[in-house]
Structure 1
Amino acid sequence: MIEKIKAWFIRRNPIFTSHLQRNGLLRLVPPALAMYAMIPVYIFFHIICIKLLYNLIICPLLKIEPIALKHYIVIDRHLLPGLSYTAKFHCAYCGYANGLSVATSVLLTRISLEATAPGNAVVRLFAKLIYLLTSSLSILAQSLVTLSFDYVMAPLLGLHRLSMQQASEKMKSNGFADDFRVFGSLGRRFLRFEYNTSLRHANSLEQIESQWCPIKHIDKPGAIYPEHHKFFIERCELCKLRKVLCSEGTVSTRKPTW
């Protein structure tokens, strides 16, 4: 009877039981609590920063196309049969957070390349002030996630962090915002720092999702997935997923450090 219950639990929770076997419960609880604590941060980031401030106010002022979040936030892995409600929630959460991260990167790139300053001086001043406020809030929200990852999740799970210096080197190699002059040098510094934060945020989510929900999405026309999605395992191969996670801990090319 006990063996049947154990087999049922493993079948319903292939990801959690893999990490439980590999890491032990004490290493899993603090990262889980830290990630749950970020849910209000993501909701704020989504509704206030992206939808309200960026899409409805800043994008029209700078004459750029708002970001269509429906192409980035893809939540479908909870439809997989046989998964527990906890596993379904984790997969939905990963899809939500990663979608926001990818959308933010695209939006900031769009601003750096396509933004046009308003012609009216008063409107331009308003646009600058609201942009600096929005950028500050975006940096704060993404930094909270990154700090939680850097100091709670990464050390306990052996995940890889991305430093500010490493993110800056990535930006320099791409020449990010080199020609951004809409709000002067101050605006360029804010945009670069926000993008730096976005890169570190994206790294955190790549490491987390590759370990905790590395299952491919259903192919959806127009959907834009994170780059690391190409390493994910097919939806019909959950047994293979468990073997990979038990032995390697992740599907990422950067394996856990222990």
Structure 2
Amino acid sequence: MNDRSYIPRDADTAVPRLLIPVRVLGRGFEIPIIWNIFGSHVKRLGFTRVAFGGTCMYLSLPFFVMIHVTGLMLLIQYFLNPVYALSRRAIADYVIIDRYRIAGLTFMDKVNCAFCGYANGSVHFLNCWLDEVAAAAPRITLRQKLIALPFLLMYIPVLVIAQWVTLHIIYELLVATPLGLRNLPANAARQQLDELPAYADTHSWFMRVVRFEKHFIIRLAYALSQIEAGWCPLKHLETRPGVEYPEHHRHFYQADEVELMLATIVDHGSVLPENKI
């Protein structure tokens, strides 16, 4: 058993109590579950569901490495930005991995936080970049579009397959189902997309490609927000100018509120308001 302090139930306070760490019955002995984010979910859902869903999250890691190395670094930063005459963004302003320094987290908590920072940061970078491309589309010439077209034709088919597997197989089937996470339906994502003025053009082939990718990113960003809000809902330590965080981070606890975060996960499984049922 770890030596973490616990918050007792007080009828006069709104702070939820932290339950006594559960034990999973083994072959004639008890295995203590360390009080951490994983153990908080086990209290709600049981060990099997949490172990399966939590482990399957990491099946998506190859996809995020692929879009980071080939998509963000090579294709966007070193090819598409110069071709479209767009400014190069600093990936370090989006992919922030610093929550491993937060006191009170176990080793696995820190690993989960690093994964969440990497995945959410990569997708947030791509989300913001697509918005920039959509806003710049009226001034991007046909010549610029045609220069990029052969490279996009080679990359997009592989990307589409990887995206489909990541969202529909890994997240919706293997992660969201056992962990009870929400999905964003395609129609709801399309409605959000249609409300964005920069994506109003639905006729040109160029904007159709941009809209297609934006539609997927909206759904993937929602899926990642569901995971992060339940598995590392703590604010980053990095606050330097220029750093960009996803919108759902405003619901996260401060780095010194680990106990309150754990209590919320025990009671609700997530810190997002719409998930607190």
Task: Report 1:133-172 matches (<5 A).
Answer: 133-147=154-168, 148-172=170-194
- Quote the residue 1:246 is aligned against: 266
The alignment status of 1:195 with 2:217, answered yes or no, reads: no
The answer to whether the Cα contact below 8 Å between 1:139 and 1:197 also exists between their aligned partners in 2 is no
Q: Does residue 44 in structure 1 map to residue 63 in structure 2?
A: no
Query: Deviation per CA, 1:118-142, whole angstroms, max 9, x where unpaired?
Result: 57x5x65331222344444444443
Give the aligned partner of residue 92 of structure 2.
70
| Cα deviation 1:43-99 (Å, max 9, x = unaligned) | 111000111011111111111112321111111110123422211110011011110
- CA distance in 1: counterparts of 2:235 and 2:129, whole angstroms: 24
Provide the aligned C-alpha RMSD in A.
Answer: 2.3
Measured in 2, the distance between the counterparts of 1:26 and 1:256 equals 23
SS of the residue aligned with 1:20? helix
Which residue identity lines up with residue 216 of structure 1 in the other structure?
Answer: K
Q: Which residue of 1 aligns with 2:30?
A: none
- Between the aligned partners of 1:114 and 1:134, the Cα distance in structure 2 is 22
- Structure 1 residues 113 and 13 mapped into 2: Cα distance closer, same or farther (>3 Å)? same
* Structure showing greater Rg: 2
The whole-number CA distance in structure 2 between the counterparts of 1:244 and 1:22 is: 11
Report the TM-score, using the length of structure 2 for normalisation: 0.82
Q: Flag the structure with higher helix content.
A: 1
CA distance in 2, matches of 1:43, 1:219: 22
Distance (whole Å) between structure 1 residues aligned to residue 191 and residue 156 of structure 2: 21
Q: Distance in 2 between matches of 1:59 and 1:141?
A: 23
- Asked if 2 retains the 8 angstrom alpha-carbon contact of 1:117 and 1:124, the reply is yes
Aligned residue number for residue 87 of structure 1? 109
Is the CA contact (8 Å cut-off) linking 1:160 and 1:254 kept in structure 2? no
Counterpart for residue 59 of structure 1: 81
**Counterpart-to-counterpart distance in 1, 2:61 and 2:35:** 22
Q: Which residue of 1 aligns with 2:226?
A: 207
Could you say what secondary structure the match of 1:207 adopts? helix
Could you tell me whether the CA contact under 8 Å between 1:18 and 1:246 is conserved in 2?
Answer: yes
1:21 aligns with 2:40: no
Which runs of 5 or more residues in structure 2 are unaligned?
5-19, 22-32
Deviation at residue 155 of structure 1 after TM alignment: 1.7
Q: CA–CA distance in 2 between the matches of 1:214 and 1:104?
A: 22
Contact 1:27/1:157 (8 A) holds in 2: yes
Distance 2:113 2:172 in 1: 21
Q: Tell me what 1:230 maps to.
A: 250
Residues 244 and 21 (structure 1 numbering): CA distance in 2 closer, same or farther, change over 3 Å?
same
Answer with 143-152 or 97-106: which moved more.
143-152
Please state whether the residue corresponding to 1:38 is helix, strand or coil.
helix
2:28 equivalent in structure 1? none
Cα displacement (A) at 1:186: 2.3
